Amino acid sequence: MGLNDAPSAERVHIGFFGRRNAGKSSLVNAVTGQDLSVVSPERGTTTDPVRKSMEILPLGPVVIIDTPGFDDEGPLGERRVRAARRTLDQTDVAVLVVDATAGMGDCERRLQELFRSHDVPYLVALTKRDLLPRVPADDDARVYVSGLTGEGVGALRERVARLGSAGARERPLVRDLIAPGDLVVLVIPLDKAAPKGRLILPEQMMIRDVLEAGAVSMVVRDSELAAVLGRMPPPARPTLVITDSQAFSQVAAIVPADVPLTSFSILMARRKGLLAGAVRGVAAIDRLRDGDRVLVAEGCTHHRQCGDIGTVKIPAWLRERTGKRLMVDATSGHGFPDDLTPYRLVLHCGGCMLNGRELARRAAACAAQEVPLTNYGTAIAHMKGILARSLSLFPDLVRLLEEDGQEPDGPKPGGRGDGTIVRGRP
C-alpha cells in the first residue's frame, strides 16, 4: 500500500442486504462496474460476504460489501445469515435491496429493524425496475434500479454518497497536535511481522499525517535513537517523539523528560475513539487475580512468530506486572467473541485494520457485559510505569487517571506468578 492509498479500515463501508434472489449481486456488479459477485438464477449463490474497494464520487474511497441472502435456510443458511449480521457491525451505510416485483416482506422489515437497532443509515433500492409496467418516482428513502440495464444506478450512487458523507468524520492521528515546522521523531523497530521492505500501517499513516501538518518527520530505530538525539543541540530538540509501544521502556529512558512522548497505538486508539475508554479500563490490570481470564484481541491477521506481541510479550508483561497466574485467549481479525463474560479484561490492539463502527461495537459489547476494555499502547505504558507521561498531550486524560486514583508513573512492586497460559483462536 502506498502513502496515497486509503486503507480498508479508513474507507466508508457500504453493505448490500436483502433476501435471496432480490438482485443484490447484480446490483453490486452494476455499482462497481465489475463482475464482483457471481450472478445466477439459483437461490443462495452468494455464500460469504464479498468485498470490493473502490471510489464513489463525491464520497471517495469506499468498501462495497455483497452479503448472503438474509432469508437463507438450514444449518448452512443460518451460518450465512450470521455472516450477514456480522457484516452489519462493520457497515457505515446499508442498502436494503428489494425485488420490486415482489415488494417488501417480513425479511425486509427484519432488516430495517436491525439497521435501526445498530443505528446504521440505510436506503431502499428496489431492483428489476426493467420488469415493472410503470416505474414509480424515487423519493428520499428509495430508488428504483436495474442491475441488468443500469437504470437508476447513478442515482443510487449519489444517494449512497450523500448518506456516507453525512456520517463520515475524519479524525486526525497527530496533525492537530503539531504545527508547521515541528520536528516529530518516529521510533520504529523493524517489526518481524511486517512484510519485508514495508512499514506497518500505523507507521505509514503517521508519516502521512505529519506531512499533512507541514511538520518534519524523522524516522529512526530504537537502537539508534540515543545517538541521534545526542547530536541535536537543545534548540533542535524534537517537538514530539512517537514510538512503537513495544519499545516504550527503552525509548522513555532515552528521551528527555521535557519532550512529549507517546505511542502509535495510543494515537491510533484516539483516532478510533477508544482512548478515553482504554484509560478508564487499564486499572483492571492491577485487579487481576490467579485464574482470571484475559482476552487479547487484534484486528489484523498475521502469522504468529517467536516474540509475537499478542501471544508472547503482553502475557509476559501481565505476569510481570501482576504476579498472577492468568489464562489468556488470543483472537485476530473479525473473530471477536459475542460472549465476553468469562473475561476479567479485554486488551485490544490499536485497531488500524478495523473501521470505527466495528471497534465501537466491540467497546459497546464490553460495556454492556461489564468487562473492562483497554488497548495495547495504554496497557503497555501502564505496565511499564509511564502512562501519565505517554498521555501528557491530553491533560483531560491525565486528570482522568488522577480521578480514578491510579498510581503515578513508576513501576509497581510485584512478583512473578506460576505462569500464564496462552490460547490462540482463529
Q: According to the model, what pLDDT value does residue 368 have?
A: 95
Cβ pair 172, 209 in contact under 8 A: yes
Q: Quickly state the pLDDT bin for 414 (edges 50, 70, 90).
A: low
**What is the spatial distance between Cα 339 and Cα 84, in angstroms, rounded to a whole number?**
19
3-state secondary structure of 189: coil
Instruction: Decide the pairing of beta strands 93-99 and 50-56.
Output: unpaired
Q: According to the model, what pLDDT value does residue 363 have?
A: 94
DSSP secondary-structure letter at 206? H
Q: According to the model, what pLDDT value does residue 260 have?
A: 95
% of the chain exceeding 90 in pLDDT: 55
Residue 68 has pLDDT above 80, yes or no: yes
The one-letter code for the residue type at 52 is K
Q: Which residues pair with 125 in a beta bridge?
A: 97, 143
In whole angstroms, what separates CA 22 from the centre of its chain?
31
| Cα angle 180-185-189, degrees, rounded to a multiple of 5 | 150
Q: According to the model, what pLDDT value does residue 86 have?
A: 82
Q: Quickly state the pLDDT bin for 354 (edges 50, 70, 90).
A: confident
Residue 35's alpha-carbon distances to 2, 150, 153, in angstroms, are 26, 14, 15
Q: According to the model, what pLDDT value does residue 34 have?
A: 73
**What is the spatial distance between Cα 50 and Cα 55, in angstroms, rounded to a whole number?**
16
* Mean pLDDT of the chain, nearest integer: 85
Residue 235 has pLDDT above 60, yes or no: yes
Q: What is the DSSP string of 133-147?
A: SS-PPP-SSEEE--T
3-state secondary structure of 372: coil
Cell match 501481565: residue?
Answer: 318
Q: Give 139's contacts (C-beta < 8 A, 6+ positions apart).
A: none
Q: According to the model, what pLDDT value does residue 212 have?
A: 94
- Mean pLDDT of the region 191-199: 64
Q: According to the model, what pLDDT value does residue 290 have?
A: 96
User: pTM of the predicted model, to two decimals?
Assistant: 0.79
Q: Quickly state the pLDDT bin for 167 (edges 50, 70, 90).
A: low
Q: According to the model, what pLDDT value does residue 334 have?
A: 75
Does an H or E element contain 374, and which?
strand 373-375
Residue 282 has pLDDT above 80, yes or no: yes
In whole angstroms, what separates CA 406 from the centre of its chain?
27
Cβ pair 56, 4 in contact under 8 A: no
97-152 pLDDT, tens digit each? 999 999 999 999 999 998 998 889 999 999 999 999 999 999 989 999 998 899 99
Q: According to the model, what pLDDT value does residue 48 have?
A: 66
Residue 404 has pLDDT above 80, yes or no: no
Selected residue with higher pLDDT from 211 and 164: 211
24-59 pLDDT, tens digit each? 888 998 988 876 554 445 544 445 688 888 888 777
Taking the CB of residue 69, how many other CB atoms lie within 10 A of it?
A: 25
Q: According to the model, what pLDDT value does residue 402 have?
A: 81
**What is the spatial distance between Cα 332 and Cα 352, in angstroms, rounded to a whole number?**
12
Q: According to the model, what pLDDT value does residue 5 have?
A: 55
Q: Which three cell numbers stand for residue 285?
A: 490490570
- Mean pLDDT of the region 225-250: 91
Cβ pair 350, 376 in contact under 8 A: yes
% of the chain exceeding 70 in pLDDT: 85
Q: According to the model, what pLDDT value does residue 353 have?
A: 82
Q: How many helices (H) and strands (E) does the chain have?
A: 14, 15
Residue 225 has pLDDT above 90, yes or no: yes
Q: Quickly state the pLDDT bin for 406 (edges 50, 70, 90).
A: low
User: Helix H segments across 231-306?
Assistant: 248-254, 264-271, 275-281
Q: According to the model, what pLDDT value does residue 3 have?
A: 43
Residue 21's alpha-carbon distances to 32, 96, 191, 388, in angstroms, are 19, 13, 46, 56
The one-letter code for the residue type at 48 is D
CA pseudo-torsion sign 378, 380, 385, 389: negative
The full set of domains in the chain, from first to last, is: 8-167 (3.40.50.300), 183-266 (3.40.50.11420), 272-424 (3.40.50.11410)
3-state secondary structure of 263: strand
213-249 in b/e burial notation, b at 16+ Cβ within 10 A?
A: bebbbeebebeebeeebeeeeeeeebbbbbbbbbbbb
15 closest CA partner among 117, 121, 106: 121
Instruction: Decide the pairing of beta strands 345-348 and 293-297.
Output: parallel
- Mean pLDDT of the region 206-222: 95
Q: Give 131's contacts (C-beta < 8 A, 6+ positions apart).
A: 100, 101
Selected residue with higher pLDDT from 424 and 400: 400
